[in-house]
Amino acid sequence: MISVVLPACNEEKFLPRSLDSLCRQDFGSYEVIVVVNGSTDKTALVARKYPVKILHCEKHSAFYARQIGAEAASGEIIVQADADTIYPPDWLSLIYADFKRQPSAVVVAVAGVYKYADPPWWAFLEYFLRLVCNTYTRLFHGRPMLISGANFAFKRHVFERIGGYHVSAFSADQYDISTRLSRQGKVLLDRRLIALTSARRVKKPFLRILRDVFNNIAMVTGWVLEHISQFFRSLYRSPSFFHSVKNTLPILGLVGILFWGYASPSSQLFGKVYFEGDGQGKNIALTFEDGPSPEYTGAILDILDKYNIKATFFVVGKQVEVYPELTREILERGHILGNHSYSHDANHALSDFGSKDMLRCAEVICQYTGITPCLYRPPYGKSSPWELSATKEMNMITVNWSYAVEGDSLAETDNAVSKVLDEINPGCILLLHDGYGIDSNSLESDCQLTLKVLDSLISNLLKQGYNFVTVPVLLGTNAYS
């Protein structure tokens, strides 16, 4: 027999749909236990309309409610459910099959997944991060780390052996219970077990979202540090050194991969990012970013005119507002405009701020020039899944670079040009600057170095047989929508 335990606090609106789905299960012998958890609405009255067992818990805590329900359960398998979640008809059958398809002593718990019935814009990111995290922990630690409290089942006798829920623990019905159960046997993740849950609890003020994010980061960080500390302890106390290395290094590797995906201009980890063309005909593209600026942009345009070369300028929205005439001059002289964000914020890709900043820049460019660029270059070349998704929704593509001509490499013209000639290939997208965002006082903002190198660089590349084209020509894409 299976016992489904469902805490319910002020759930008169959502409870009927959840109980409807639970009462339509195609599994033979099961019971549904609704634990009314300090409700002040008609939750109990709604529950009485269904063939379920009703209990009451005065403490306003889902963890206490789950414990009371588990203690009253008759089944050898206890299943966690939520009052705002809908379950497919074969849900219990699949759970039962998971327990029975392997030797009884092996599987002690089964976890499913969930999707939002009314997903927020960032839901895809949550799904992705859960997939990455659970794939990693299953490979290297044999169990999923992130489970859903609304879609989790375990054997009652094992649950009783570990002392039930630790109601004062962090995430008592998810992380804590699954961690303790995993020490007794296998916790299986079955992606066929898909529950459809409400997103109402995650649609909340941004500051509360940040708080929850930091709480989860703290949890994961603690978990990582625990394994790192185990690694160092093994150096002095344990003979199982290589076992600890095996457990710890993949964690560091995963962190490194995610950081590389975020910070590397050529990373494709989170989505499509263009950083070079196919190189047919020895084509290369010059790009300038962080302008326009009156000190440098005009002089750069004059050098380009000297060689009859067209380039692509990724402009900052704030600079466009200050220098609209210079922005229009870039267009009038036959060059391409791209979007380089409105504020040039270094941490744009860490939240939805980046996509809003990108949209604002597009609006500013359109306001002063009448065109909307299809090309977007993120500040510092950083990218994230949600920003790349927003770019796609706006019918834009993300364009970074394959070679950056900047910084100390510009100090000596001959050395800088020689280095570029040695390292670039056909199809290369070159990065230079005609400004430094909105910071005109930094040491790096002296783009006289760019002006000093640019003429010689173009001249030598032409001698090498390179053809200068704009980014849309190099990539075969549209410049404007």
Q: For residue 437, name the pLDDT band (cuts at 50, 70, 90).
A: very low
Q: For residue 106, name the pLDDT band (cuts at 50, 70, 90).
A: confident
Look-up: residue for tokens 């796609």?
392
* Lowest model confidence (mean pLDDT) among 52-56, 278-282, 366-370: 278-282
Model pLDDT, residue 173:
84
Compute the mean pLDDT over every residue in the chain, rounded to the nearest whole number: 83
Q: For residue 408, name the pLDDT band (cuts at 50, 70, 90).
A: very low
Quick one: which of 476, 408, 420 has its CA closest to 446?
A: 408
Model pLDDT, residue 216:
55
| Token pair belonging to 447 | 């783009």
Work out the percent of the chain whose per-residue pLDDT is above 90: 49
Model pLDDT, residue 247:
59
Highest mean pLDDT among 393-397, 421-425, 467-471: 467-471
Specify the higher pLDDT residue, 229 or 59: 59
Cα–Cα distance for residue pair 18/310, rounded to 1 Å: 61
Q: For residue 220, name the pLDDT band (cuts at 50, 70, 90).
A: low
Tell me yes or no: is domain 2-197 CATH 3.90.550.10: yes
What is the mean pLDDT of the segment spanning 106-114? 92
Model pLDDT, residue 319:
92
CB atoms within 10 A of CB 203: 12
Model pLDDT, residue 250:
64
Q: For residue 151, name the pLDDT band (cuts at 50, 70, 90).
A: very high
| Token pair belonging to 262 | 């975020």
Cα–Cα distance for residue pair 15/7, rounded to 1 Å: 10
Model pLDDT, residue 280:
78
C-alpha distances in angstroms, 137 versus 87, 223, 250, 255, 273?
26, 11, 10, 13, 28
Highest mean pLDDT among 57-61, 224-228, 378-382, 442-446: 378-382
Model pLDDT, residue 442:
42
* Lowest model confidence (mean pLDDT) among 126-130, 152-156, 268-272: 126-130
Domain locations in the chain as residue ranges: 2-197, 206-263, 280-475
Model pLDDT, residue 110:
95
Please give the distance of CA 249 from its chain centroid, rounded to a whole number. Answer: 22
Within 13 Å, how many C-alpha atoms sit on residue 291's CB side?
31
- pLDDT(133) > 80: no
Look-up: residue for tokens 């708080």?
211
What is the mean pLDDT of the segment spanning 350-366? 85
Specify the higher pLDDT residue, 124 or 373: 373
Q: Phi and psi dihedrals of 12, rounded to 5?
A: -60, -25
DSSP assignment letter at 344: -
Look-up: residue for tokens 């630790």?
166
Model pLDDT, residue 172:
80
What is the mean pLDDT of the segment spanning 326-353? 87
What is the mean pLDDT of the segment spanning 190-194? 91
Cα–Cα distance for residue pair 116/122, rounded to 1 Å: 11
Tell me yes or no: is domain 280-475 CATH 3.30.2320.30: no
- Residues in contact with 185: Cβ distance below 8 Å, sequence separation at least 6, in sequence order: 105, 106, 107, 108, 109, 158
| Token pair belonging to 56 | 């009451």
Model pLDDT, residue 206:
47
Model pLDDT, residue 32:
97
- pLDDT(436) > 80: no
Specify the higher pLDDT residue, 134 or 359: 359
Q: Phi and psi dihedrals of 100, rounded to 5?
A: -90, -15
Look-up: residue for tokens 């001059």?
329
- pLDDT(343) > 80: yes
Cα first-last separation, the chain: 60
> For 233-252, b where at least 16 C-beta lie within 10 A, e where not — what string?
ebeeeeeeeeebeebbebbe
What is the mean pLDDT of the segment spanning 325-354? 87
Per-residue pLDDT tens over the stretch 233-278: 555 555 555 555 555 666 666 677 777 777 788 888 888 899 999 8
Model pLDDT, residue 438:
40
Model pLDDT, residue 359:
92
- Contacts of the segment 363-366: beta carbons below 8 A, 24+ positions apart: 364/317, 364/320, 364/321, 365/315, 365/317, 365/320, 365/327, 365/337, 365/339
Quick one: which of 458, 239, 438 has its CA closest to 321?
A: 438
Cα–Cα distance for residue pair 456/459, rounded to 1 Å: 5
* Lowest model confidence (mean pLDDT) among 168-172, 392-396, 443-447: 443-447
Cα–Cα distance for residue pair 89/22, rounded to 1 Å: 8
SS3 content of the chain, % helix, strand, coil (to 5): 45, 20, 35
DSSP assignment letter at 88: -
